[in-house]
Amino acid sequence: MDNSLLAELAAARRAHRGEPSQHVTPTPDTAEHEAPARNNEPAAKRVRTSGEACIDLCGSDDEATPTDGDEALARRLQSEESRGAGGNDAALARRLQQEEVQAAAAMTSPGAAASSSSGVGAAARSIDDDAFDSLARLVMYQRDSRHTAAAADAALCAALGGALSPCGLLGISGGAAGVAGLMGQPSWEAKAQTMLELAGKWASLSALPARRSGARDAVDKAFEASAKGVRGVGPWTVNEFMIGLGRTDVLQVSCHEVATGLRHLLEAEQAGGQPPTVAAWSKAARFRPDHLTRVSAILRALHRRVQASRPAKADACTDAQAALAAIPRE
């Protein structure tokens, strides 16, 4: 249940180097159809195929505009009630919890970082270099499908001969158009411009946070605030970055996959006449703050499982309910 985007970035790098994949994330084979850009941004948050099957896209740093459905969802979330797990549900919850802990340990261990050129804190490079590489690459994953972004990531990496660095990006001729061209995505000039601005301001950002497991602290929050000062870098991007560093209190409210997983769960609970077990966006949420990254991971995994097999939705929701029931609450 390895749900960090940084793990997917590492998989893309391994594929580019011809190494065997360690983890395969289901991605649709259907061709994409990009919607018109908004505010000079590259793509819409969601697209549909001719068969109206939704292709999930990565998160957005935009401020979402509330809809009637969102308000109804918020009202449901505010009425959240805890539901205990027993019997087989308890055993399943323990198994899922163990898998999540193992996945988190693998992502935060020094060995895992050293084995991939995308791991923040990799042994062969400085923490500063690897932090920039990770954050800049996450920009490519904003508002576009994972497989499209992974291809662009691999192309840019190949052109630069390795990981991204401020000097490497700023040395590309042609500015944003040149960077977008090297990614094989000429329409991504807005993303390329964000990456260039991040490179130009990198040295002036707040002190870099360290790789560690635990909740965010004042240093983390100062870095988040300074990174968000770069145009095009927002909550989704810095949250994914913090998850990759091992932070346990990140609720990815801007992530399409997490939001869709939550909707699947609430729909299943409503159909079964059960009280909702999740209040991810609500102030009435009872999950302990230092477990919110796990909540995000469970909901994201639910979305991907349903996307891979729609008939598996009922079982997937049951598993997610059991996993969430095992998370400590206040």
pTM recorded for the entire structure = 0.65
* Better-predicted residue by pLDDT, 128 or 123: 128
Instruction: Answer whether residue 311 is part of any domain.
Output: yes
Asked, for residue 13, whether it belongs to a domain, the answer is no
The DSSP letter of residue 47 is E
pLDDT in tens, 183-242: 999 999 999 999 999 999 999 998 899 999 999 999 999 999 999 999 999 999 999 999
194 and 133 part of one domain: yes
Confidence band, pLDDT 50/70/90 cuts, at residue 274: low
Look at residues 249, 244, 200, 201 and name the one whose alpha carbon lies nearest to residue 221.
Answer: 249
Query: What is the total count of domains within the chain?
Result: 2
Domain around 201:
127-211
Inside any domain, residue 182: yes
- CB distance 280 to 251 below 8 Å: yes
Q: Round to whole Å and give the CA distance between 59 and 240.
A: 9
How far is it, in rounded angstroms, from Cα 59 to Cα 73? 19
Whose tokens are 């000062």? That residue is 229
Average pLDDT over residues 244-261: 92
Judgement on whether residues 265 and 204 belong to the same structural domain of the protein: no
Q: Are 132 and 204 in contact (CB under 8 A)?
A: no
Q: What is the pLDDT of residues 297-307, one digit of tens each?
A: 999 999 999 99
pLDDT in tens, 68-89: 444 444 444 344 333 333 334 4
Task: Tell me which of 326 and 176 has the higher pLDDT.
Answer: 176
* Alpha helices (runs of H) in 25-79, residue ranges in sequence order: 68-78
Q: Domain check: are 265 and 320 in the same one?
A: yes
Mean of all residue pLDDT scores within the chain: 71
Determine the average pLDDT of the residues in 48-64: 43
32 occurs within a structural domain: no
Q: State the angle between helix axes of 189-201 and 127-140 in degrees (0 to 180), rounded to the nearest 10.
A: 160
Tell me the average pLDDT across 137-143.
94
Single out the residue in 183, 211, 239 at which a domain terminates.
211
